[in-house]
Chain A
């Protein structure tokens, strides 16, 4: 809006001088008559007026400085973890429970060091994480078209919609015995259990996302010619993205939980040693420090995947739409 200054100057000049290149047709032929009216502001003033309004109304979106982020987002969880460690250590010193039941934080640290030196720490984590992510990817490929079908085809929705929501409240561990009998004690069982945990979440997330798309977007899409598949790709799916991402996040949590439970229950040399299996082995050996380490690692991996993949994805989707709640 660089023209503000010049238009301000023109303001005072007689309006008849203003060039009027846009005289076409009879649309505004009697223009000169208007210009003669005293006190009327020239239309060239409009750009300055508009620039002023825009400046007054502008919505300033600021990102918090890094120092503030550290204080508000990073400091509190670190304090909480430290507090838990302190309380834990105090409980050990106070001999609240026997050493075989309540190992000290340092004993758990010792076990972690042992595993690191033994070289199987990463293989244990990787066995589980690779199963989890691969199973989740398969759930994504199955859950997405399924969600689209349920959301857009009334018959399919009436037929399997309630079952799909119901499946979310069935812990997918309940499928382990059946999966072991059908598929045997191998990786297929693990994947089946992950899929049964994650597919309903992902599909339901997409259905919820599509249901919440304002009809106005679809109408606006149709007026610009985005119909059918083009409408689904350019309008419907991007509009449903927030609900879909929420479904993905929940789907991952379900996958990870189901996988750990399945590893605890099913044991076979074919499955390799993942985190759940490691935890169960430690229990069988009555190694409480190992059990604690197992629990902590499962928690740590679940949180890490969420923090590294799903939370940034969700934040990006919400922020780009101005949907993040921020205190101003």
Chain B
């Protein structure tokens, strides 16, 4: 344990400036009709403890960008650094393993991290109670509701003990009531930890509800179009007037960007 403590301290010292840095990142995929540029010259810093939402219409390469930051794919040009180690990643589907219980799903992540056996169970219990699922340790994935599955998935992502959490439209498949509750939950957990979050969505209100900074991407290729710093205090509500006003402004910008694609 002493080992991890020192390395964590060293990490926080060197990563004081950013949790993730994307430096002129481009990504192109080879296609039969030539190469297609998906991401074009993206430069973005996520500060430690910052909550950033990436917003864009279809074809803006949001998911590609997250894959690059997660290290699942390599950029064609530019560089990506994540000083806090391998980022945790949460998907739109819960992606929990159905042959394991909720608790064992989390313990598998702890095991891959190299945590000794006797520490795993208490840590899994702690993470489950952090997402307020204290009684769900022995539950199978199919016994949980959609919202509970996503909370277990969040606990599993937190089990990686990474300083950066990447979220790829994690609430898009949930009903509106559950999504709203999970927004509150995510805000609570984020403010209780020093986690940095890079959150991808196509839902403008969701972005304004959650983020300190919203980054609008243009489509085909994905470029950074505009940024908004959001100083509406947390916890916000999705129906707050300030949230709605800013959402209208951002939606206008987004629609203008989409219209541009229909003009040729």
Name the prevailing secondary structure of the A interface residues. Answer: helix
Kindly provide the distance from the CB of A201 to the nearest chain B CB, expressed in whole angstroms.
Answer: 22
Task: Flag the segment in A20-28, A69-77, A270-278 that touches B.
Answer: A20-28
Task: Flag the segment in A80-88, A174-182, A230-238, A286-294 that touches B.
Answer: A230-238
Q: Which of A22-50 contact B (CB under 8 A)?
A: 22, 24-25, 27-28, 30-31, 33-34, 40, 43, 46-47, 49-50
Which residues on B sit within 8 Å (CB–CB) of A225?
86, 112-113
Asked if B49 contacts A43 (CB within 8 A), the reply is no
Kindly provide the distance from the CB of A11 to the nearest chain B CB, expressed in whole angstroms.
Answer: 14
Whether A50 touches B132, Cβ cut-off 8 Å, given contacts A27-B191, A40-B237, is yes
Interface size class of B (residues with CB under 8 A): 35 or more
Task: Flag the segment in A144-152, A183-191, A212-220 that touches B.
Answer: A212-220
Which residues on B sit within 8 Å (CB–CB) of A223?
70, 72, 86, 88-89, 160
Asked if B178 contacts A53 (CB within 8 A), the reply is yes
Which residues on A sit within 8 Å (CB–CB) of B141?
321-322
In this complex, what residue of A is CB-closest to B101? A320
Number of chain A residues whose Cβ lies closer than 8 Å to a Cβ of chain B: 42
Which residues on A sit within 8 Å (CB–CB) of B140?
61, 320-322
Kindly provide the distance from the CB of B218 to the nearest chain A CB, expressed in whole angstroms.
Answer: 26
Which residues on A sit within 8 Å (CB–CB) of B100?
238
Q: In the complex, what distance in Å separates the CA atom of A219 from the CA atom of B71?
A: 11
Whether A22 touches B192, Cβ cut-off 8 Å, given contacts A53-B147, A320-B99, is yes
Q: Which of A206-228 contact B (CB under 8 A)?
A: 216-217, 219-220, 222-226
In this complex, what residue of A is CB-closest to B92? A216
Kindly provide the distance from the CB of A179 to the nearest chain B CB, expressed in whole angstroms.
Answer: 39
Asked if A224 contacts B108 (CB within 8 A), the reply is yes
Kindly provide the distance from the CB of B106 to the nearest chain A CB, expressed in whole angstroms.
Answer: 10
Asked if A220 contacts B181 (CB within 8 A), the reply is no
Whether A57 touches B145, Cβ cut-off 8 Å, given contacts A46-B185, A320-B99, is yes
User: Which of B133, B181, B191 is the most central at the interface, judged by chain A CB atoms within 10 Å of its CB?
Assistant: B191
Which residues on A sit within 8 Å (CB–CB) of B235?
28, 34, 43
Asked if A43 contacts B184 (CB within 8 A), the reply is yes
Whether A50 touches B185, Cβ cut-off 8 Å, given contacts A24-B194, A30-B233, is yes
A239 proximal to B (CB < 8 A): yes
Kindly provide the distance from the CB of A308 to the nearest chain B CB, expressed in whole angstroms.
Answer: 23
Asked if A322 contacts B233 (CB within 8 A), the reply is no
Interface residues of A (CB under 8 A from B): 1, 22, 24-25, 27-28, 30-31, 33-34, 40, 43, 46-47, 49-51, 53-54, 57-59, 61, 216-217, 219-220, 222-226, 230, 234-235, 238-239, 241, 320-323
Other than A225-B112, A321-B99, A322-B143, give 8 A-B pairs with Cβ distance below 8 A: A30-B231, A31-B234, A50-B181, A53-B147, A57-B147, A58-B143, A59-B142, A234-B108
Interface residues of B (CB under 8 A from A): 49, 51, 70, 72, 86, 88-89, 91, 93, 95, 97-100, 108-109, 112-113, 132-135, 140-148, 156, 160, 177-178, 181, 184-185, 188, 190-192, 194, 212, 231, 233-237
* 28 sample A-B contacts, Cβ–Cβ < 8 Å, listed by A number: A1-B134, A22-B188, A22-B191, A27-B190, A30-B231, A34-B234, A34-B236, A50-B132, A51-B132, A54-B133, A57-B148, A58-B143, A58-B145, A59-B142, A59-B144, A61-B143, A223-B86, A223-B89, A225-B113, A226-B112, A235-B97, A238-B97, A238-B99, A320-B99, A321-B98, A322-B140, A322-B141, A322-B142
Nearest 4 CB-CB pairings of A with B: A322-B142, A57-B145, A30-B233, A220-B95
